[in-house]
A and B are shown apart, each in its own frame.
Chain A
Amino acid sequence: MAKTLYPKVNSSEITDESIWLSRRAFIKTTLSTALISTSGSLLSKELNALKSPVLRLPKHGSLTKYKDITRYNNYYEFTSDKKLVHHYAKELKTEPWTITINGEVEKPLTFDIDKLLGMMSIEERIYSLRCVEGWSMVIPWNGFPLAQLLKMAKPTSKAKYVKFTSLLDPEVMIGQRRPILNWPYTEGLRIDEAMHPLTFLASGIYGKDILPQNGAPIRLVVPWKYGYKSLKAITHITLLEKQPKTTWVDANPDNYGFYSNVNPKVSTPMWNQRKEVKIGEVRKKRTQLYNGYGEQVAHLYKDMDLTKFY
């Protein structure tokens, strides 16, 4: 089965707005059928409970240009120079690729990526991606909610956290030859965050297969957290009882926390998060709590001190 539901477009071509809009109409219909087909089985409770907030996602204005999304990347596995990432990332081979779900699950699973994407109904989500460095993009992702995949592996009652591991391959990922971070890149979520319908696994952008610089073949997207939480090129998803160590917290605990929720009121020695510049614009604008997704996610952190658990 095809990797995505959409016709392949030459990657050098910038998507025309009208083409993209027509695809959207198609996606909407597939999305609604997907909701109906799954509501009886896997996710009925969660989806019904949160169906309306999901459909009322905050508006972030116009989409970021495809060219900017694919030419301005933070991907320290290759280089810390955002403009060079897309050159180096060309070398990454994403086929064959397997993704493994293990740890505190009843049914550990390993999928070939093409087979997995064939099984899932691919939908579109327009999310704002807020980088910890103070810039943001609005990206139309294609993929499926992480919860759908986790449910297949049946997490046990001990599963309290989810750890994600990215590819370790210093041959190709030349940034990994230097110990600037603890490779491989790992990230983590609490189980309720991971099961939240907004938490997404993306395999496409603007209806095209995702490019290596954006996290091919599959990446995480958690829109209410800073971008570094949404790790790229996932190989392992491990369910754990204890909170996992994550790469950036390990490297610099004063500036990075486990939760990393977008919060304009929490500043660290390195970052002042009050404002952000949207790529394509010149002036900075105010940053919103939970990146604007407070309506959907604020209940997850009801009794928590956000300045302590940043």
Chain B
Amino acid sequence: MQFNLVHLFKLVTRDYFKYVKYLFIFLSLVPFLILSWQFYTEQLGINPLAYLTKVTGHLVIIFLILTLLITPLKRISSYLMTKYQLKYGKRLADWNWIIKLRRIFGLYSFYYACLHLAVYVWFDQGLEWEYIYEDILERPFIMVGVISFLILLIMAITSFKVLIKKLKKKWRKIHMSIYPLSILCLIHYWWLSKTIESELILYSILTFLLLLYRILVWTHIVRIRKDDTGMEVSTRHKVPLNHKVIF
């Protein structure tokens, strides 16, 4: 049998999605594995506390950006495939598997936020709750961090498939809080920075572009695609003929 790349791609992405899923679950865990290895071999650098706090914080923002990237990526890719009627285009346009990565990335953002919080509460503040309480009140960026964590916690709890089906439209509304959340995380970072760091600018630009995409979709492009509800669970819709594809 002749080796067919597109065929293979189709197989992997559609029929063997679980392997793609496991691959991404593992890849997202790699930063944690590296950190753990550095922790046990005492390679966290000269100031381990500062390093752990910084890296876990960055991972939260990176995974939030990845989460925000999924919806535009799915829409744009399927639009391009359909528009230019590429060979196997119809099959590839059915990139619904991408949307399933959104939850994985979102949950990893929550996972790294838990680590970030644990480093602060345990290593930085030494579990002294009175001081933590004072610290939240004294330093606004800590307060912003706590609020962000609570939002992320609510989103993580409501991310079970059962709840997605149960909450339906409410679920969408709850999970739209990723937009204010991503801004809050950046405010947290801006506020604690002594000077403007290059990572800070990079994250801000990426988040800005991804939010701008949403604003443009909502304000300038009329939403006609009834088949794309943005939901993860009900993916098997028939695309009506003569529909205007808009991303």
Contacts and interface: CB of A to CB of B under 8 A. Distances in A.
B83 to A, nearest CB: 43
A270 B139 contact: yes
A272 B131 CA distance: 10
Interface string A251-290: 1100000000000000101111011010100111000000
Interface string A199-214: 0000000000000000
Interface in A74-94: 76, 80, 82-83
Contacts of A283: 123, 126
A267 B47 contact: no
Size category of the binding interface on chain B: 20 to 34
Contacts of B126: 275, 283-284
Interface stretch (B22-30, B88-96, B109-117, B188-196): B188-196
Contacts of A82: 46-47
Contacts of A274: 131
A76 B195 contact: yes
A284 B196 contact: no
B139 A68 contact: no
Q: Tell me the dominant secondary structure on chain B's binding face.
A: helix
A310 interface: no
Interface residues of A, number: 25
Given A72-B46, A277-B49, A284-B49, A269 B141 contact: yes
Contacts of A271: 139
B139 A269 contact: yes
A277 B197 CA distance: 23
Q: Tell me the dominant secondary structure on chain A's binding face.
A: loop
Contacts of B227: none
B165 to A, nearest CB: 44
Interface in A48-81: 68, 71-72, 76, 80
Given A80-B195, A180-B196, A282-B123, A270 B47 contact: no
B58 to A, nearest CB: 13
Interface in B128-148: 131, 135, 138-141
Which 3 pairs from chain A and chain B are nearest by CB?
A72-B46, A180-B195, A267-B138
Given A80-B194, A83-B45, A282-B48, 12 more contacts: A68-B46, A71-B46, A82-B47, A135-B49, A180-B196, A267-B138, A269-B140, A272-B135, A272-B138, A275-B126, A279-B47, A284-B49
Interface of A: 68, 71-72, 76, 80, 82-83, 133, 135, 180-181, 251-252, 267, 269-272, 274-275, 277, 279, 282-284
26 contacts: A68-B46, A71-B46, A83-B45, A135-B47, A135-B50, A251-B195, A267-B138, A267-B139, A269-B141, A269-B191, A270-B141, A270-B191, A270-B192, A270-B194, A271-B139, A272-B135, A275-B126, A277-B47, A277-B50, A279-B46, A282-B48, A283-B123, A283-B126, A284-B49, A284-B125, A284-B126
Interface of B: 45-50, 123-126, 131, 135, 138-141, 191-192, 194-197
